[in-house]
Amino acid sequence: MTNHLTDEDFELLQIQRIDGVAFVTIDAPPINVMTLALFRELAKFGAQVAEDGSVRVVVLRSNDPDFFIAHFDVSAILSFPTDDPPQRQSEIGGFHLMCETYRKMPKATIVEIGGRVGGGGSELSMSCDMRFGAIGKTVVNQMEVPLGILPGGTGTQRLPRLVGRGRAMEIILGGVDIDAKTAEEWGYLNRALPPEELRPFVTDLAFRIAAFPPQAVALAKEAVNNADTLPLRDGLLEEQYLFQQLLRTDEAEPAMRNFLEIGGQTRDGEIRMGQLAREIGAS
């Protein structure tokens, strides 16, 4: 059923698909709280786009200059049932499953954080592949412990992996605001950019990645994800296998021959490798 949804079926997400990139703008005024309705739309879109071969990159963003996603709806949490004892589950589900969908889908996921991000919005952001913020605007916060709970949507697991245990403890136990430059230095953000440069940078990066062979993007992402879950030796063995798999795709040989034809392995070409890689994608 999910795969039959159209972009017009979403009320809180504005979706625009251009040249292999799905730009998803969150529009849930007044402050983009992660309500149950917004969560369901993000989950449905994630399941849909994960199977959509025409999309190679997903960009999540907000047009609200002050908020990307504030946090999960506290009113909704207050309605969660508490009469029965807590149970340990054998499988992830709900919010965790939604976050894992964005982490594991075979395409790049990029988050453009132009304002505040907190709670469940931060947890979704950390589950995506890359995060970019705006200097003087982006603020990261995990506000759950002051409310008597904890970051229960992947936060206690994702944050230490991004910023380290001590810094994760400061953010989670302290409920403190982390500015964009600190978030960049600690590894939460890939980059903190001047506000006027944030959207152009993210847009350019998305189109750049979308121009590369999609199977290479998908399997490279899979290999990097393995670093979180596999011992090093197993990760190396899987990397060898995925490399061999890509060598046998229809895209690899033409891309490598094109690389040599436009200047690869020449002095002039290698000096400008970043631009050369863009030209391979463009051709």
Which sequence spans correspond to the domains of the chain? Answer: 2-210, 214-282
Looking at 105-194, list the stretches that DSSP marks H as alpha helix, in order from N- to C-terminal side. 119-127, 155-163, 165-174, 180-186
Distance CA 47, CA 56 (A): 14
Distance CA 172, CA 221 (A): 28
pTM to 2 decimals? 0.95
Q: Encode pLDDT of 35-92 as tens digits.
A: 999 999 999 999 999 999 999 999 999 999 999 999 999 999 999 999 999 999 999 9
The pLDDT confidence band at residue 5, using thresholds 50, 70 and 90, is low
Average pLDDT over residues 203-212: 97
Mean pLDDT (the chain) is 95
Q: Fold for 2-210, please state it.
A: 2-enoyl-CoA Hydratase; Chain A, domain 1 (3.90.226)
Phi and psi of 260, rounded to 5°? -70, -35
Look-up: residue for tokens 């309705």? 37
Average pLDDT over residues 263-269: 94
The pLDDT confidence band at residue 1, using thresholds 50, 70 and 90, is very low
Write b or e for each residue in 180-215: b if 16 or more Cβ atoms lie within 10 A of its Cβ, otherwise e: bebbbebebbbbbbebeebbeebbebbbbbbbbbbb
Residues of the chain with pLDDT > 90: what percent?
Answer: 95
Task: Return the number of other C-beta atoms located less than 10 Å from residue 113's C-beta.
Answer: 30
Distance CA 60, CA 68 (A): 9
Average pLDDT over residues 262-267: 94
